[in-house]
Copies of this chain bind each other. A is one copy, B any other.
């Protein structure tokens, strides 16, 4: 994969005098966005090292801004930060994965309860349009399908009008993406569209209990559908153990 050439940043050139100075703080945000998307879309694979220098060079910003972005990603759990050893894409353990999914289920249950009976007609229509899109993209184009089913949940959280709830759901969702990238089956379609449909129906009916229940089981089934296979272990020693055995090398 080749990146487009960044603005060369010649050592002793006053600074790029051409690119219009964007709003302050916006460049930091852009770095954050870029890294976040790259991680979620698996352009940056779990456990991959993230050196401040090279990232800054590629993105045309100084290490300062990269550091800031990495810091934020670290509190969100997408990046791991080790003292004096720098940042890498997070590689959650199975235990952490379970924690994240549990919290996400709880949060989205809240969303469902909050929304039940409160959906405006416009909102309901928007959700249904979204589900139709999901149906279209089913089958082929895996990434698109995954993105859409993720966005469905974000849309729901947005509709609660509760900014904090939205933030937490977003955070949990992105960590779930990372987790599925590690432990998920290759072609699991993540969310069953029919379950989304049922959920909308329950929300329309104002049946909070049913909506919460549906959401809970929906997310639970995502886990069992996609997460059943603990196919990788984090520690390089565990990865190498079978090779060691087959080569007759005993580990200490």
Q: Which positions in A face B, CB cutoff 8 Å?
A: 23-25, 64, 67-68, 71-72, 75, 77, 81, 83-84, 96, 99-100, 102-103, 106-107, 109-110, 114, 162-165, 168, 172
Contact = CB atoms under 8 A, between A and B. Distances in A.
5 contacts: A25-B81, A71-B72, A100-B164, A106-B106, A106-B165
A88 to B, nearest CB: 15
* Count of chain copies: 2
Contact of A162 (B24, B83, B102, B163): B102
Contacts of A172: 164
Contacts of A165: 99, 102-103, 106
A75 B170 CA distance: 13
Chain A interface, >50% SS class: helix
A213 to B, nearest CB: 14
Contacts of A25: 81, 83
A25 B83 CA distance: 6
A161 B97 CA distance: 13
A39 B90 CA distance: 31
Nearest to A98: B162
Contact of A83 (B23, B64, B107, B163): B23
A68 B114 CA distance: 35
B107 A106 contact: yes
Contact of A163 (B24, B71, B96, B168): B96
A154 to B, nearest CB: 16
B164 A99 contact: yes
Contacts of A83: 23-25
A164 B103 contact: yes
Contacts of A24: 83-84
A208 to B, nearest CB: 13
A163 B107 contact: no
Nearest to A96: B163
A109 B172 CA distance: 18
Contacts of A71: 68, 71-72
Leading 5 A-B pairs by shortest Cβ distance? A106-B110, A99-B162, A25-B83, A24-B83, A103-B164
Given A25-B83, A83-B23, A99-B163, A75 B77 contact: no
